[in-house]
């Protein structure tokens, strides 16, 4: 049982690794340094009154932005929303409405208590709303994560995703303390043990190591935090951390929602958010319209990647149900995702010339060793 929670986590990590490498291939990459240099040149030319040079720079810039042949992060996110909508309907139809909302029936049948140990259940209406809101957070996280691929590669971005565990850990500890006063939070009743806290530290630093190029002193440099990809992944991490805490809230014993039910309901919340953005946010509406000009191969690949991603969310949600601390699961999830992302990216580039070049392999292998030690300590 100690190792059981790792099985769906490994499956989810493999699926996400495939999705991440596909994102590398379908999202157009922007050179952040080149973009900054072009802005500086435009400002200089404005001072000199040279508008002709600015027109040339602007034309070159349009040719190299992600809005060319490949997808932008927003467009990839919109395709994700479309795929999620149809998959959500398919899974809903396969399950049936009765099974989807079974947690309502068990709540009534057991008079609002759990069958096993008579804990007070969370209202199923509250669980449903929480799952829908979880989909909103998931949508926001996905958008910022995919936008970060415009200026960096998956083998750099994936280790940075590990930061969400730093957000989850203190929040889960706070919720553990509050659970003694508010029974509705009994899902988070167990506080992390010292051994597991040490394991978390190893997993976190091991996972974050590659994105710092093996130099932790970069954390003290503003230039590191000012990178577009870093700020976008940080915001994505914060949003997905809230999502994972909602997963634990809904799918553990007092929430009693199955992983499939949570997947479907949160997917509906995700799709509603995308629909709102396309209707009321101009940039998203423009991105949706210009999808018609994108080569079909990138759209199909993006759709396949989203199927892998959604399947990954399903398996990972099982791990959050099986293990007592969300912070540990999140740290292990990021570490395993990083490991399989590295393996898949190297193999696909070597044998199929698919995706982007993998750099700093030595640092990434070293991080996997540290992470493995941390994972052993969690068992």
Task: Supply the pLDDT for residue 51.
Answer: 53
* Count of other CB atoms within 10 angstroms of residue 58: 12
Task: Supply the pLDDT for residue 63.
Answer: 36
Would you say the C-alpha torsion 92, 97, 102, 108 has a positive or negative sign?
positive
| Backbone angles phi and psi of 71, in degrees to 5 | -80, 155
120 SS3 class: strand
Task: Supply the pLDDT for residue 71.
Answer: 86
Task: Supply the pLDDT for residue 186.
Answer: 67
Question: From first to last of its 379 residues, what are the pLDDT tens digits of the chain?
Answer: 466 778 888 888 888 888 877 887 888 776 544 444 444 555 555 555 555 554 544 444 443 344 457 888 888 889 988 988 998 899 899 989 899 999 898 888 888 887 777 778 888 999 999 999 999 999 999 899 888 888 776 656 766 776 676 777 777 778 778 777 776 676 666 666 777 778 777 766 776 666 666 566 666 677 777 778 788 888 998 899 899 889 888 888 788 888 889 989 999 999 999 999 999 999 899 988 888 888 888 889 889 988 888 888 788 878 877 776 666 676 677 667 777 777 777 777 777 776 666 666 677 677 777 776 776 675 5
Q: Which residues contact 307 (CB under 8 A, 6 or more apart)?
A: 83, 87
CA–CA distance, 311 with 321 (Å, rounded to integer): 16
- Give the largest Cα separation in the chain, rounded: 78
Task: Supply the pLDDT for residue 34.
Answer: 46
Task: Supply the pLDDT for residue 21.
Answer: 79
Task: Supply the pLDDT for residue 62.
Answer: 42
Would you say the C-alpha torsion 321, 275, 85, 229 has a positive or negative sign?
negative
Burial environment of residue 90 by CB neighbours within 10 A (0 to 12, 13 to 18, 19 or more): exposed
Measure Cα distances from 12 to 6, 216, 320 in Å.
Answer: 10, 29, 12
**pTM score:** 0.74
Task: Supply the pLDDT for residue 262.
Answer: 92
Task: Supply the pLDDT for residue 249.
Answer: 86
């Amino acid at each position: 049982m100690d190792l059981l929670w790792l099985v769906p986590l490994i499956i989810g990590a493999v699926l996400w690794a495939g999705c991440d490498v596909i994102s590398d291939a379908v999202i157009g990459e922007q050179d952040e340094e080149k973009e900054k240099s072009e802005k500086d040149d435009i400002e200089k030319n404005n001072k000199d009154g040279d508008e002709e040079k600015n027109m040339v720079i602007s034309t070159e810039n349009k040719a190299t932005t992600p809005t060319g042949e490949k997808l932008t992060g927003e467009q990839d996110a919109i395709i994700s929303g479309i795929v999620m909508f149809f998959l959500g309907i398919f899974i809903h139809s396969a399950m049936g409405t009765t099974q989807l909302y079974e947690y309502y029936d068990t709540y009534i049948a057991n008079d609002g208590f759990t069958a096993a140990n008579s804990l007070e259940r969370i209202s199923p209406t509250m669980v449903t709303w929480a799952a829908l809101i979880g989909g909103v957070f998931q949508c926001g996280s996905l958008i910022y994560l995919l936008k970060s691929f415009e200026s960096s590669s998956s083998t750099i971005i994936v280790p940075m995703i590990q930061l969400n565990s730093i957000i989850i850990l203190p929040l889960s500890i706070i919720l553990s303390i509050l659970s003694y006063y508010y029974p509705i939070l009994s899902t988070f009743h167990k506080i992390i043990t010292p051994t597991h806290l040490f394991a978390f530290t190893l997993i976190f630093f091991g996972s974050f190591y590659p994105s710092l190029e093996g130099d932790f002193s970069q954390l003290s440099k503003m230039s590191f935090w000012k990178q577009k990809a870093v700020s976008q992944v940080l915001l994505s991490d914060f949003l997905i951390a809230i999502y994972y805490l909602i997963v634990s809230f809904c799918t553990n014993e007092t929430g009693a929602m199955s992983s499939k039910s949570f997947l479907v309901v949160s997917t509906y919340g995700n799709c509603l958010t995308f629909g709102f953005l396309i209707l009321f946010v101009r940039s998203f509406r423009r991105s949706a319209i210009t999808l018609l000009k994108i080569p079909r191969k990138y759209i199909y690949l993006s759709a396949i990647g989203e199927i892998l991603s959604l399947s990954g969310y399903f398996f990972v949600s099982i791990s959050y149900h099986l293990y007592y601390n969300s912070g540990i699961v999140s740290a292990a999830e990021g570490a395993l995702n990083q490991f399989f992302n590295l393996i898949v990216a190297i193999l696909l580039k070597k044998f199929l010339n698919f995706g982007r070049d993998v750099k700093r392999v030595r640092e990434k292998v070293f991080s996997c060793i540290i992470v493995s030690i941390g994972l052993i300590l969690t068992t």
